Amino acid sequence: MNENKAEICAELGELLKLTLAGADIDRIEYDEESDGAVVYYKSTSPYGFRRLNTAGDSGAQMIADAVTGLLWGDINESVT
């Protein structure tokens, strides 16, 4: 089975928006070049966007790493 990481990221973003922790998320996109996820925040958020290290992950592990990075990651990794 071939996993569609772009679709996984998009759907994960929609799911996380339903939570308090994901309320500021605009969308999550898969960056094919870095094999990672990029979280884009709403314009009202001070964070801008944030890259999450999900390189080399399977789809399920990418979800786990993205959630872990969002909930417990260093907010100083954010880029505006």
Full domain range(s) for residue 39: 1-57
Whether 69 is in a domain gets the answer no
Q: Which of 68, 63, 13, 64 is nearest to 42 (CA)?
A: 13
pLDDT at 60: 93
pLDDT at 56: 85
| Predicted TM-score (pTM) of this structure | 0.82
pLDDT, tens digit, for every residue of 22-46?
999 999 999 999 889 999 999 877 7
Please indicate, yes or no, if residue 71 is contained in any of the structural domains. Answer: no
76 within some domain: no
SS (H, E, C) 4-63: CHHHHHHHHHHHHCCCCCCCCEEEEEEECCCCEEEEEECCCCCCCEEEECCCCCCHHHHH
Could you tell me which of 35, 32, 39 has the C-alpha nearest to residue 16?
39
